[in-house]
Structure 1
Amino acid sequence: MPPSPPPLRIRIVATPDSTATPLAGLYESLSTVEGLTAPEDRLRADRRPFDVAIVAEQAGILTTASGLAITAHESIDDAEEVDVVIVPSMAFGRDEEWTAGRYPRLVRWLREAYERGAVLCSACTGANLTAETGLLDGHHATVHWISERDFQRRHPDVVLRPDEVLVVSGDGGRLITSGAATAWHDLALHLVATYVGPATALAAARFLLIQFHQDGQTPFQVFDPPSDHGDAAVLAAQRAIDDRYAIAAPVDEMVRASGLAPRTFARRFKAATGLTPIAYVQHIRVERAKRLLEASGEPIDDISWAVGYEDPAAFRRLFKRLTSLTPGAYRQRFRLPALGAAA
């Protein structure tokens, strides 16, 4: 009988900007797979599936962005033979931007690992670091939806797909990116399904109580229109409609507030916000409807009327187009729960 192949060498990158939960979660979930291998996948994994370790510029204790300490098992200088590299989430706030050029040694190591044949993965805002390698240019990728505008501005050659939770791209599918926050679950399950087997991925999901986010990031996104575009007339229109979105002629109200001619307004509004005026109003209305669905038990037809739509069917179609879920499905998923289970 031929000897079993060695375990897949997975290295998870830690930096002072790393967030501890996804870093530790990826390490622990991938390490757990050894005891969960499904019988259907035995022929593919009759061995220890993964050799998982945390790497950093230097081995030893490292303090992450939240102040929690993580132990890096290896330095990048000692981690030349790698099959899969994962860059987990990095922490920076809603109003902050990624600081490029902070980790030139890591960027060089990531690029060299990929050139030697490794699969390069990132979770959430970790894509900011992997994008500095230049390897994502010309390829599809995803990132935390809140970072979309900043990421696209700095990396215009990356084909960004912010609605997707997991994107597999590159030569041989060796560039893998996952979206916001707990989308690292999807990344971990994808690696298990690919390198061990789908039945084992399902067993891991059941054991760890995690799952694929099959509807993508769209249901979770919050409409956050830009207001720092510098166009005072457009900003006046945005403010005018913010609380009057349900009126019968919202675009006319925006034009009046801007003081511009209709054609000039439409052109400047699209340039400033990236949306046509009517599309902007639709996003505002659906965002308000989402809050009502989450916090109330009002009938959907009443919510449709409250946000400005007399035709509930038209509202339902629009809602699904913008969120990927029907209003009823959205309420079922995001309705504010009671605390704890009733006895």
Structure 2
Amino acid sequence: MTHFGSNTLHVSLVALPDAVISTLAGILDVMNGAALMGLGDAKAQPPFQIDIVGERAGPLPLASGVPIEVQKSIDDIESTDIVIVPSVLLASGGWQKGRYPRLVAWLQRMHARGAMLCSACSGVFLLAETGIFDGKDATVHFGYADAFTTLYPSVTVHPERVLVISGLREELVCSGASTTWHDMVLYLTARHAGATTAQAVARMFALQWHQDGLAPYIVFEGKSDHGDGEVLSAQQWLAQHFSVAKPVEEMIKRSKLAERTFKRRFTAATGIAPLEYTQRLRIEDAKRRLERTDASIDEISWRVGYEDPAFFRRLFKRTTGMAPGAYRKRFCIPEFARS
């Protein structure tokens, strides 16, 4: 049997109108898992006591319209051990700062009184309003990374990372895209209740750590809103012809620009050099072929423009963090799900 420690930590799980119910409810259930599933000594205190907190107690409709019961108002909480902001749904206009001044002030007070501040996915948008993350590292859903950087340029974000722990006391914890909240909850469980308890919870809920990071999930989309027509024309050509031999040389010829000028303008406009841009397009095409076809890795290497399969394998792993075969196993549609 797993034995809990003698001290139960108080967890404040923040409910706000933008919150995603699946993340909030999932965090609640998994952090309660050790107690609910009887994983520990029945006589021992559970590792966490979790309250759903918000600006006021009572029912609160979340982003999907489904209501959840806020158990405690933040006005009634003088201190807490861990605060978790679940993922929030960003509307078409993006995150609007300044809508939750009472929550932001409460988060600042809780941190000043020793609380850990944790976010799942896009929940870091709210935490960043406190200013506590300025000059520190964080992660956020890769689809929101640009928007986050625009709003909070003082925070260094790593969207490819599953979990980022920062702060002088390691009290600032962020998880990345979507279900990486699993990793955050397992980390908190291991940190405060022990590795054995975390492993038992992971087995009970069939959770897996995202040990390969999030790079395999990120789809490369080259920047195109840069305003350089010459570079945009080259990008459009390359999107259809990336597999040809020496595509960078061909782009330069088509542009009628000097080689140095073309490379400088391309890098300035897109943020990456032409050769790396070409490689990213080729790897994206290879990913789709691995996901959707039964073609051999050597054939896919040739199809996307690489005659040396060994070089292709090295480049693929360097770019995605996974070998091509492992990527196919992870992302291909299972046989039973194919029509």
Assess same fold via TM > 0.5: yes
Distance 2:285 2:200 in 1: 39
Structure 1 residue 318: Cα displacement = 0.5
Structure 1 residue 261: Cα displacement = 2.8
Asked if the contact 1:270/1:277 (under 8 Å) is kept, the reply is yes
Distance 1:135 1:260 in 2: 47
Summarize the alignment of residues 117-196 of structure 1 with structure 2, pairs less than 5 Å apart.
117-196=114-193
1:6-41 alpha-carbon deviations (Å, 9 max, x no partner): 5211011111111111011001111122145756xx
Query: In the alignment, which residue of structure 2 is the partner of 1:77?
Result: 75
Distance 1:336 1:10 in 2: 38
Query: In the alignment, which residue of structure 2 is the partner of 1:291?
Result: 288
Asked if the contact 2:6/2:44 (under 8 Å) is kept, the reply is no
Structure 1 residue 172: Cα displacement = 1.1
Alignment partner of 1:209 is 2:206: yes
Query: In the alignment, which residue of structure 2 is the partner of 1:99?
Result: 96
Deviates more, 1:116-125 or 1:55-64: 55-64
Distance 1:281 1:96 in 2: 32
Asked if the contact 2:56/2:74 (under 8 Å) is kept, the reply is yes
Instruction: Pick from 263, 275, 282 the counterpart of residue 278 of structure 1.
Output: 275
Query: In the alignment, which residue of structure 2 is the partner of 1:240?
Result: 237
Q: How many residues align?
A: 334
Query: In the alignment, which residue of structure 1 is the partner of 2:47?
Result: 49
RMSD: 2.0
Rate the CA distance shift 1:102–1:232 in 2: closer, same or farther, 3 A: farther
Alignment partner of 1:328 is 2:329: no
Distance 1:211 1:85 in 2: 23
Query: In the alignment, which residue of structure 2 is the partner of 1:253?
Result: 250
Deviates more, 1:25-34 or 1:175-184: 25-34
For 1:84, the aligned partner's letter is I
Query: In the alignment, which residue of structure 1 is the partner of 2:29?
Result: 28
SS at match of 1:282: helix
Structure 1 residue 259: Cα displacement = 4.5
For 1:216, the aligned partner's letter is G
For 1:232, the aligned partner's letter is G
Deviates more, 1:119-128 or 1:257-266: 257-266
Rate the CA distance shift 1:70–1:255 in 2: closer, same or farther, 3 A: farther
Alignment partner of 1:61 is 2:59: yes
SS at match of 1:67: coil
Distance 1:96 1:275 in 2: 28
Distance 1:259 1:72 in 2: 63
Deviates more, 1:275-284 or 1:230-239: 230-239
Distance 1:257 1:115 in 2: 59
Query: In the alignment, which residue of structure 2 is the partner of 1:315?
Result: 312
Distance 1:19 1:329 in 2: 31
Structure 2: runs of 5 or more not aligned: none
1:205-241 alpha-carbon deviations (Å, 9 max, x no partner): 1111112111111111111222222222221111111
1:61-118 alpha-carbon deviations (Å, 9 max, x no partner): 111112221111111111222100001111126x653222221211111111111000
Structure 1 residue 255: Cα displacement = 2.7
For 2:87, the aligned partner's letter is S
Rate the CA distance shift 1:169–1:28 in 2: closer, same or farther, 3 A: same
Deviates more, 1:324-333 or 1:147-156: 147-156
Asked if the contact 2:238/2:251 (under 8 Å) is kept, the reply is yes
Query: In the alignment, which residue of structure 2 is the partner of 1:89?
Result: 87
Distance 2:38 2:129 in 1: 36
Rate the CA distance shift 1:240–1:25 in 2: closer, same or farther, 3 A: same
SS at match of 2:241: coil
Asked if the contact 1:36/1:203 (under 8 Å) is kept, the reply is no
For 1:61, the aligned partner's letter is P
1:166-218 alpha-carbon deviations (Å, 9 max, x no partner): 11110111000000000000011011111111111111011111121111111
Structure 1 residue 157: Cα displacement = 2.2
TM-score (norm 1): 0.92
Q: Percent identity?
A: 48
Summarize the alignment of residues 111-122 of structure 1 with structure 2, pairs less than 5 Å apart.
111-122=108-119
Distance 1:159 1:298 in 2: 40
Rate the CA distance shift 1:143–1:74 in 2: closer, same or farther, 3 A: same
For 1:194, the aligned partner's letter is R
